Amino acid sequence: MSSNYLYTDLSAYYDLMCADINYHAQSSGVRRLHQLFGNEGNTHLDLACGTGPHVHHFINFGYQCSGLDINQPMLEQAKTRCPEAHFSLGDMCDFEMDEPLDLITCFLYSIHYSGEIDKLKQCIASAHRALKPGGVFCFNSVDKDKIDNRLFERHTVTQGDSLFTFSSAWHYSGEGEKQGLKLSITKTTDGITKSWDDEHPMVAVSFEELASLLQPYFDVHILEHDYEKIMPWDKSSGNAIFVCVKALTPE
């Protein structure tokens, strides 16, 4: 089953799949990071914005928000959720903005959807072009060298008469620039169960490699993956938040 099927035809279930995510805490944490590391502006773009839950919180924080996603059904839901924002269909690896921005975010490890190193480089360059001096590009990432293929996340949600079970897991072969995000959905209604399984191709990169890709463009700060505390990455955990600040002076 293709990833397009999972994310397009089942886009109505996307918010259920992410029901255990604390969008407010993530958004509030990144707003704080922007206040500490960035400029004082309030223009914001969320890459791979999905159905717009992060955008919703940034609007409430007083930002002028926009969102970019490659999936039109997701964007239709985002427009309903956040009518104040501007949403565009597009590729986060190759985008242009009419006016420079103060903050660009990319939540939920979506930076890895760039798929390959060359595309990741394009994404970084696009974000740099789109930011004002002092602007911030903030995202979270997983280190390929610290992925445990045995681990997975699972949660269940009830909607109407149906019980949904969602699970996800990273998988890395141990070499190369490709890793997978394995996804599974089961829906049980009146004793009848349907299931969907998929694996999304993702770019695999170590934090050292990622920092080296970012440093020609940004001042890079790698923090522990905790949106409620600000702590430097301990160099042992496999998840981190990257705060990337565009220089105030021209390169």
The rounded distance, in Å, linking the Cα atoms of 104 and 244 is: 10
Domains of the chain (ranges plus CATH)? 20-143+204-246 (3.40.50.150), 145-203 (2.20.130.10)
- Whether 180 contacts 171, CB under 8 Å: yes
Question: Would you give per-residue pLDDT tens digits along the chain (251 residues)?
Answer: 334 444 445 577 788 888 899 999 999 999 999 999 999 899 999 999 999 999 999 999 999 999 999 999 999 999 999 999 999 999 999 999 999 999 999 999 999 999 999 999 999 999 999 999 999 999 999 999 999 999 999 999 999 999 999 999 999 999 999 999 999 999 999 999 999 888 889 999 999 999 999 999 999 999 999 999 999 999 999 999 999 999 976 54
**Which two structure tokens, joined as six digits, stand for 225?**
């993956």
Beta bridge partners of 89: 69
What pLDDT does 1 receive? 33
- Please, what's the b/e burial string for 157-184 (b: 16 or more CB within 10 A of its CB; e: otherwise)? beeeebebebbbbbbbeeeeebbbbebb
The rounded distance, in Å, linking the Cα atoms of 124 and 119 is: 9
Tokens 């704080």 belong to 32
- Whether 58 contacts 31, CB under 8 Å: yes
Strand order, beta sheet including 218-224:
86-89, 64-69, 43-47, 101-106, 131-142, 239-246, 218-224
DSSP string, 108-139: TTGGGGG-SHHHHHHHHHHHHHHEEEEEEEEE
- Whether 77 contacts 52, CB under 8 Å: yes
